[in-house]
Structure 1
Amino acid sequence: MNDFQSLRRPIRRRTVLQGGASLALATAFAGTSRVAEAAGGKVIIGAFADGGLTPFKEKIIPLAKAQGFDIEYLEDEYGVTLEKWFADAKNAAGQYDLYLLDDPWVPQFGAADLLEDLGAGGINGGDGDWIKSLIDMGWWPPQQGPRVMGFESATPKLICVPFVGDLQTLTYRNDVYTKGAPATWDELLEVGKAGVAAGKIKYPIVFRGVSGNPIVTSWYPIFLSYGGEFFDDKWKVAFNSAAGKAAADFFVGPLKQNAPPGVVEFDSDQEGAAILGGDAGAIIQYSGNALKADDPTQSKVVGKLDFGVVPKKEKAIAQIGIFIAGVPKSAPNKANAIAFLKWYVSAGIQAKLAEAGSIPVKRTAFAVKDPGNRLIPVALKQLDSGALPRPRTPDWAKVEELLGIELNKALQAGSGGGAALDVAAQKVTEYLTQMGYYK
């Protein structure tokens, strides 16, 4: 797989970017290489704007500076960072020492061989203190599961390390679910309906239904809880199995019937307004949005929202979507960047991260006496209950787009979820065939 194939359909953290990356973007930095030499402890960090990185910026960067690292933190809007960083790495422009990537981007950079082998740099990917499901995402090719063509027999290298352990959890109204977090999807709807009848809420559930990444992200934990798998070990589509179809039928039928009108067009803002405004009884969401529950400037129901593990059918499995760090081979201060990562993922600094309010990536850090937010212990429960990343392929964004279109059509109709998966499976298979996945 060539390097421009690996960038053809970038994925957003929460929403799919429209269209693929162009060659013009990839060459835009060719003549603008920064002349920078390693000086002292300088580390140039590229990051996208996201509230999940606020504790790192406010609490950890000052500690790094006190340690002797000269941190330059360059932040951009999410929608431009993937193309910008890929171009920087591809053209050896040397503008960054460290990228804080969205985890689905790891296969794109890995397939193009643009990131340093951090294991060779002295970072121990086998350290038993790592949360395994998080460190597993840093290897390319992946140590387990299917591998894309060209990497079937390659030796995995640790090209990224987890930076902030973001994942989905349940947020629910504690005055509706008075016995604690609902354990199953059926319980969520049954108790939620009672809350509607009592006048406490208007809808048991809210989720994102807009086509593409949002609807697939909302459906993902339901699909996993039913025992679904996206692909087999040869990249044959498996999401339209009996389990997948049952999950899709539940999603577009009973779940939609208990969600707000217009949910087919809901994205993060709309679902957030429903849970924070007091209309909805439950939501599955990432930590950056979940933590708004305790902010009186954003929530009308402060004190009435608690956190729990996602509901189950057979299992209780959430989607992982972490911040993950990689060092480009063209980094001007490469040794400093690797030294910084070693310092950052140490047990002591991970504990400081948890105290600052971010979800850490080392298990011992979850045991801090006073975690900076009350979601942290719930996040560990979810990680231990079950949490999986999106499939490790550079083409996930296109797969997600094709699947999301069909799921949205079924959601609009309020039925036919299983049939929608069959249509999506055919389209995904055709696309992956064009991309050379099948011999």
Structure 2
Amino acid sequence: MATAPAPTAMTSARTGRTRLSRRTTGILILIAAVLIVALFLFMVTREPVEGARPTTLGFSLNSFFIWIGGLGPLVQIPIVVVLFAAVVGVILLLIEYAPRPGVGYFWLRVAACFVIPVLAFMILRPYQNAVVYVVAIALLAGALLFFADYRSREGAGYVFQLVIFMAPAAILLLTGLVYPAISTVVQSFFDKTGEKFVWFDNYIWTFTNPYGFWSVINTVIWALFAPIIATGIGLVYAAFVDRARGEKFLKLWVFMPVAISFVGAGIIWKFVYDYRQGQQIGLLNAIITWFGGQPVGWLDAQPLINTFCLLAVFIWSQTGFAMVILSASIKAVPTEQHEAAQLDGANARQRFFNVTIPGIRGSLIVVLTTITIAALKVYDIVAVMTGGRSNSSVLGFEMVNQQQRFQSYGHSSALAVVLFLFVLPLIIYNVHQMRKQKEVR
């Protein structure tokens, strides 16, 4: 059976030169296309000569959007649907044809080099110095397309498809998370109007002014007590009702508060803490007066009593969450380990601390972290029950309060940064735990 002759060194060199020649030709075509588009845009956007008629395309996407806005809903909807379908179709064509070399691949690249600058021009045309931005966009588009071609050897259209699929998520993250975070940090060093640079005055205010100081102290209290108490109660309850008669109903009663929003929970417990002279409608003060005591204004009691009253509402709503997660983890602990410990003479308490707790360590970390983050960003309970009065405010509430009530964006931004610094150790710890789990696997 005849075999194909092995390629010689000369053949390999010729093939390499051919590939290099094609790549060079593609780069030259790309550069030429970008220059042609830039020249065209310069011609149509340049300042007109005195006495001459200005050259213009007479159309921009802004005018198109204005035109759509003036149409009726029955006309707008089909137009928007058609445009959306066209965009999706173009994306699908790019995904379909980008990995395959050939005529379609070449013309698709050429069209992209032309269409992208034209669209940029149609969007930016009403603005001054639009041609500079359009040329920059054209050069950037050409560079990205060249990079996609250069990296195509890693897989069929790998980079191109990656960009297509990742671009929307990346844009949303940049505009909705990264940019606001950077803007908040910068704003925290300016005054309430955002015009005068005040260095660390906003942070000094946070730890010295009563509004900021008590919001920090209360947030620390929430972050320390809420996860420990809620997780502890949920763990003990899950261990006691595990495999008990009527387990489903016993868990249902504890889990029900989780289905109630913080606003609803705040309204419910506001009636429990209700304080008034005369006949009591608040459950807690009604019990106190039955035993001959005087009613107490729980939500105005200081120092810190009102904070713990609010904290009880949060714990009530989070205990069921901890119970459900930890109950499932307890059931996942192998029964053989309990049987082995029992044979070794361990009692129920020893089996719980030496077998059950180590077996559900991962779930405990998840529950503690989740409840801690929820406690750090709590807002609804404070807003509904006290409105931050009597030194019961927390960072999440005071941040909104300073922005809306006092129009102090500098103070609000500083509080947001402090809140982020509180959350940061939790993020670092969770990343560290995830890395350890990957190493174990």
Which structure is larger by alpha-carbon Rg, 1 or 2? 2
Q: Give the TM interval when normalised to the shorter protein.
A: under 0.3
Answer 1 or 2: higher relative contact order, Cα 8 Å, separation at least 6.
1
Q: Which has the higher helix share?
A: 2
> Scaled by the length of structure 2, what TM-score is found?
0.22
Q: Which has the higher strand share?
A: 1
